[in-house]
Amino acid sequence: MRSQIDPHQNTQDSEESQEESQLERHCRDAGLKMTGQRQVIARILSQTDGHPDAAELHQMAVKENPKISLTTVYRTVKLLEDHGILERLDLGGDRARYEASHHGVHYHLLNSETDEVLEFDNAKLTQLLHTIVERMGFNLLSHRVELIGTPLSEEDE
């Protein structure tokens, strides 16, 4: 199975869909020109649950604007990544996924059987990482933890 993100899923219906999304505001704050196509892509990224790849973003974007090409999606996510607005998640496999950078401390677990990405937070893990780094004589500025696994079978439990 390629992905658990359904390109036909409804994005979150909210006031954000009628006005500028948070991601669009971050783009404007960074001084980026927000073309109509970039606005569509930014809005989809803001409203979509999950961690879409470029092809999934493209499938969703063409529903709003059929003129958006896959190349435009790749260029836009690269631009947003270069400006620190979007984070690229390389969780194994042959494709990158994306999420907003301003998402708080959290971790990712990739189900390697389904390609589903689960987000979680864990204060103990965060504290452990800080402790390890401090013992090595450093201040932790940022960190990234991505886990890849398969669901436990009944035999494993």
d(CA 24, CA 7): 21
Question: Looking at residue 156, what is its pLDDT?
Answer: 67
Question: Looking at residue 67, what is its pLDDT?
Answer: 94
Please tell me the CATH code under which domain 107-149 is placed. 3.30.1490.190
Widest pairwise Cα distance in the chain: 55
pTM metric for this prediction: 0.65
What are the extents of the domains in the chain? 15-100, 107-149
Burial 50-82 (b: 16+ CB within 10 A, else e): bbbbbebbbbbbbeeeeebeeebbeebbebbee
Question: Looking at residue 4, what is its pLDDT?
Answer: 42
What is the DSSP annotation of 66-106? TT--HHHHHHHHHHHHHTTSEEEE--STT--EEEES-S-S-
Please tell me the CATH code under which domain 15-100 is placed. 1.10.10.10
What backbone torsions phi and psi does residue 97 show, to the nearest 5 degrees? -120, 165
d(CA 45, CA 70): 15
In the chain, which stretches have pLDDT less than 70? 1-20, 91-93, 102-103, 156-157
Question: Looking at residue 27, what is its pLDDT?
Answer: 82
Question: Looking at residue 153, what is its pLDDT?
Answer: 84
